[in-house]
Structure 1
Amino acid sequence: MQIQPALFRLSKRMALSIALLTMTSMPLRAETPPPALFAYVGTYNPNGEGVYLFKVDSQSGALSRVKVVSNLPNAAQLSLDGAGKTLYVASEVANYKDSQHGVLAAYAVNRADGSLTLLNQQDAQGKMPVYVALTPKQNYLLAANYGSGSVASFPVAEDGSLLPAASVQQSAGPAGAARPEAAPIGSFAASGHDAPHAHMIASDPNGKFVFSTDLGLDRIYQWRFDQSNGSLAPNTPAFIKASSAGAGPRHFVFHPNGRYVYLINEEASTLTLYHFDQSSGTLQEQQTISSLPKNYQGTSFASGLTLSHDGRFLYVANRLHNSIVQFAIGAQGKLSWVEETWTRGDYPRSIVIEPQGRYIYALNQRSDNITQFAIDKHSGKLHFIDRYTGLGSPSQMVFVR
């Protein structure tokens, strides 16, 4: 009767030994590393040489330069398709095939090493293309030409290449006020109120309507967009005036809920909230506030803006003041000031948040560098992490895995 417990204990020890032997003999499975993250940065000549490829550290967000992947001159404006297969580059050259126009280029992306292969080029249908954006279905590329004030849509072929323009619209009208009435005291921010200057064009999240800004005419154009043929037709009304005379509407962004639009006015250094009517495709102004500190006086040019991934905060870049200003988004999309952060560089042309929402980068055009800031996931506040990336005249950055 006393043998059974002993046998039982022996059986347990044998089972444990077998289990341990089995575990130690099994090959260890290595953790799968996260897919490589690349960044493309467009630059201006002569300091910049074209489009640069960087590797982005998956943990620290540090940028490591790999090489120049396109020597297209003044390749300052970029747009990447949702699948990360095609990069579109707008070059602000003024002599594409003796047309006195800029050029748009489509590149196939090698997802393994980030290298680019040119697919084709198209006349931008205007001078100095300063903005390109894909429509939600990724089947048209929209372009805004600052030098001539024209906007255009280009069909995207199955391989990602660009077909000739499907629709071209030329703005016309009296130039806006020579001096921005809402600018700070002492401001001499007057950069383009002499003729039409289209500065941005982008679709609403559903792809039914398109908006474009004209800095020179102080207008925000409202377009109906035909997704079957790419045509841009004036909405009713065809445009609305900027929030103040001489404000110089520049860039805008849709809130993730699709109902709010935030627009930065370059010369007045103001930020305007519009409510977007999703049925009519029109904008209604709701709020306009300064992008600069309350007591600031002098000249500054507002430039880029971007939303936190969760839609709780809006970040705005100021050139000459050289700051990133954080705004909290409240009820009905209303904005309230949180704080300002020095960019540690000069003339931030754009600001961009990396895909995981942990870091924001300032592309400082005149100081030839990119500076990096950590984003607090709760407060949204920025913290400079003492990291500079030297690069000649950076303008815009996009990410691809």
Structure 2
Amino acid sequence: MNLKTIFFTIAFLASFHIFSQNTYVFLGSYNRDKEAESIQVYQLDSEGRLTKVASTTNVINPSYLTISPNGKYIYACTDTKTPNAGSISSFEFNPKNKTLTFLNKQTSGGENPVYISVHKNGKWLVNANYTDGSVAVHPLLENGIIDSMAQNIHYSDRSIHKERQTRSHVHSAVFSPEFDVLFLPDLGADKIRSYAFDENQKKPLTETQIPFTKTDLEAGPRHFTFHPNQKFGYCIEEMSGSISVYTYKNGILQQIQRINTHADEIKEGFESSDIHISPDGKFLYASNRGKENNIAVFSISENGFLKNIGYQSTFGDHPRIFAIDESGKFLVATNVISGNVIVFKRNPITGLLQKTGTEVKMENVSCVQIKKYY
């Protein structure tokens, strides 16, 4: 074996060691029990195996999680689906000591918070409240503490579905690629709302000339993601079981395609949920709950259009949220009703998924985030 071969072999093995030591999976749940381990943390190794390293109790329904840009802090939607309540909570994660420590919580500004995002500067947190249709903005202190609410905007409009769209239901809060615009898919109003976001102002949200993008009626826009090239946006629509594709420029969305997330033989009962794009920008993944319980896989063309190339069962019931690690090697799916977490290996050439054999149980598991620490 020559020196060049030895060098690359050592580098290859070292990369696997680094992956296994520094990639962590964070799980949230509808635990409904303060004694339960409501947030759990696992190490993800190079073969897709999960090893539990930390957890926290004394928190009700941390249904959605997000991670600060520097990885030090975990923010959660808490008191979700709790009548007349709703909060957001912060935790400090120490990968060296493998500890997760509660810091503080604040009101979410509305009932049933379901989504939370952090600005790239780590100084602002935004959350969406589903039940009463609102958005809240909180400053973040340098120690990860959530400060008092800076803005809270409620909506009262609706759409045409007589049961599910009697009022606004904001389902996510997603920053634009440059973090200067905030998008709010509103399932109840069939709109993707938008605001300019000025990180230097005490109240960073301001209205724009185009305050929303109207979706198809009874679409139920839910989650939204941008392509890595920043030219396209993709919105998954829960009620119609569709994905709408948009061009994106200067804060403006223009629809160019609408495609089903579900198989053609499924005619009703759609519950499309989450949406993510592989780091290389070649494939899009979308979760279907209810009748299908799968991940739909799409290829992405250079013009942003999607083409369905397959479906992968999540081996459980009700895959609400999934995540792709930053290397693009693994996809981790959470099944709420069956309470199991499945790790898939992603083929970078075909985009298709294969179960690794790793599965962990967590009652009412509802969310997953993945972070690599350097």
Superposition TM-score, scaled by structure 2 size: 0.89
Bigger drift between 46-55 and 381-390 goes to 46-55
2:346 pairs with 1:358: no
Work out which of the residue numbers 108, 112, 128 in structure 2 matches 1:124: 108
* Preserved CA contact (<8 Å) 2:113 2:128: yes
2:127 pairs with 1:154: no
Partner residue, 1:16: none
Number of residue pairs the alignment of both structures matches = 353
2:65 pairs with 1:78: yes
Q: Secondary structure at the match of 1:101?
A: coil
Partner residue, 1:232: 205
Query: Compared with structure 1, are the counterparts of its residues 31 and 219 closer, same or farther at alpha carbon in structure 2 (3 Å cutoff)?
Result: closer
Partner residue, 2:242: 270
CA distance in 2 between counterparts of 1:385 and 1:95 reads: 36
Alpha-carbon deviation of 1:70?
3.9
Bigger drift between 228-237 and 305-314 goes to 228-237
Partner residue, 2:265: 295
Q: Secondary structure at the match of 1:309?
A: coil
Q: Secondary structure at the match of 2:360?
A: strand
* Preserved CA contact (<8 Å) 1:372 1:386: yes
2:161 pairs with 1:178: yes
CA distance in 1 between counterparts of 2:246 and 2:279 reads: 20
Q: Secondary structure at the match of 1:237?
A: coil
CA distance in 2 between counterparts of 1:50 and 1:63 reads: 17
Residue identity in the other structure for 1:389: V
Partner residue, 1:371: 342
2:365 pairs with 1:394: yes
Partner residue, 2:43: 55
Residue identity in the other structure for 2:263: P
* Preserved CA contact (<8 Å) 1:38 1:114: no
Work out which of the residue numbers 14, 19, 23 in structure 2 matches 1:37: 23
Is there any run of 5+ residues in structure 2 with no aligned partner, and where?
Answer: 1-12
Residue identity in the other structure for 1:178: H
Q: Secondary structure at the match of 1:199?
A: coil
Q: Secondary structure at the match of 2:207?
A: strand
1:102-251 paired onto structure 2 within 5 Å: 102-173=86-157, 175-178=158-161, 192-229=164-201, 230-242=203-215, 244-251=216-223
Partner residue, 1:385: 356
Alpha-carbon deviation of 1:193?
1.4
Alpha-carbon deviation of 1:68?
2.5
Residue identity in the other structure for 2:252: T
2:309 pairs with 1:338: yes
* Preserved CA contact (<8 Å) 1:107 1:118: yes
Is there any run of 5+ residues in structure 1 with no aligned partner, and where?
Answer: 1-29, 180-189
CA distance in 1 between counterparts of 2:122 and 2:14 reads: 34
CA distance in 1 between counterparts of 2:77 and 2:182 reads: 19
Q: Secondary structure at the match of 2:343?
A: strand
* Preserved CA contact (<8 Å) 1:343 1:371: yes
Q: Deviations over 1:130-154 (max 9, x none)?
A: 0000112221111001111110111
Partner residue, 1:315: 285
CA distance in 1 between counterparts of 2:52 and 2:120 reads: 31
Q: Deviations over 1:106-127 (max 9, x none)?
A: 1121121331222221111111
Q: Deviations over 1:42-81 (max 9, x none)?
A: 0002486411122222x21211233422431101111111
Structure number, greater radius of gyration: 1
Q: Deviations over 1:346-393 (max 9, x none)?
A: 110011112321111111111110112111121111112333211111
Partner residue, 1:11: none
Over the matched positions of the two proteins, sequence identity in percent amounts to 28
Residue identity in the other structure for 2:28: G
* Preserved CA contact (<8 Å) 2:54 2:98: no
Partner residue, 2:56: 69
Query: Compared with structure 1, are the counterparts of its residues 277 and 64 closer, same or farther at alpha carbon in structure 2 (3 Å cutoff)?
Result: same
Query: Compared with structure 1, are the counterparts of its residues 259 and 148 closer, same or farther at alpha carbon in structure 2 (3 Å cutoff)?
Result: same
Partner residue, 2:4: none
Partner residue, 2:6: none
CA RMSD of aligned residues (A): 1.9
CA distance in 2 between counterparts of 1:239 and 1:258 reads: 19
